[in-house]
A = this chain, B = another copy of it.
Amino acid sequence: MAHITVIGGGIIGRSWAVVFARSGVMVRIVSRRKGAGPAILHDIEGAARRAQAIKPDVAIESILSRISVYEDMAEAVTGAGFVMETVEEDLAIKAALFRDLDHLAPEDAVIASSTSSFGISRFASEILGRHRCIVAHPAAPPHLIPVVEIVPAPFTSLETVEIVYELMQAIGQTPVMVKREQPGFVMNRLQGALLTEMFRVIEDGLMSPEDVDRLISDGFGLRWAFLGPLEGIDLNAPGGIADYLKRYGFMFNDLANERGASAPVVTQKLVGLLHDAMRGALPVSELPRKLAWRDERMASLRALRAKLGPFEVE
């Protein structure tokens, strides 16, 4: 494809540059900081080197050879096939930028934003080319963590959605669809829910911060490195997720109730949705084999952790 232009040379912009360039795409980074090019490329080299295990057949030099840093946005965007914006979380700055990009970028180029805070309708609804504007919110940093939330506004065209989704798949990321704009999209809502419960446990004096962290890093984190939490509980009852929720659904309702919720969490509708999704992907008869698959992976991860060692404070 034509080159991709990344707006912003910060941590997310540099990380996207690695993602695109190691997939063979030419990348132009726009940085407003005068003379920042060499420092940006130096940081990218370090990041690419630490991530080399992900694509060991791609030489660091090839990645670097595909990335250039520009100070002039018009020049960097000329001929671009795709634009990824990664500037600071400021509505006025993003709105002005998208207005400019809509004039400068080729007519058929999609303009995506990496924003984690705002739906695209908050800052691109007034521009002529708004149908080609969309949020593609990465986990940080995207060159290591593949998931990307795709969040269209009501005015975003279906073609734009498809282009972003397929591009992300083609470069080895994992696109997921957020069906409506809302604060925190979905990713940050999930992390927020977990952290909020951790905060409460700590503030209530139930457990030390170090121990609460260990419940994940020496606990669920080993499972979730390979399986989503829903796939995880699907393996924890002989009849799969519907069986699990029949046995343990009361726990979720009790907890939500204690935390101020007014309605039960585990409804018949929810159980039906989860059952259909999980059983559509995997029959119950396959669960024991998947359990063995999971167990071998967790053992391998523990061996990897032991081999790589803990962080040592100097």
Contacts and interface: CB of A to CB of B under 8 A. Distances in A.
Given A195-B252, A304-B301, A228 B208 contact: no
Tell me whether chain A's interface is mostly helix, strand or loop, or mixed: helix
A260 interface: yes
A215 interface: yes
Contacts of A190: 194, 197-198, 201, 212, 215-216, 220
Interface residues of A, number: 114
B210 A187 contact: no
Contact of A311 (B53, B220, B290, B314): B290
B225 A225 contact: yes
Interface of A: 46-47, 50-54, 56, 139-141, 144-147, 149, 174, 176-180, 182-184, 186-203, 205-231, 233, 236, 251-252, 254-256, 259-262, 265-267, 269-270, 273-274, 277-278, 281-283, 286, 289-290, 292-293, 295-306, 308, 311, 313-314
Given A194-B190, A229-B194, A220 B212 contact: no
A106 B296 CA distance: 37
A211 B255 contact: no
Nearest to A298: B144
A221 to B, nearest CB: 3
Contacts of A230: 195, 198, 209, 212-213
Contacts of A208: 177, 277
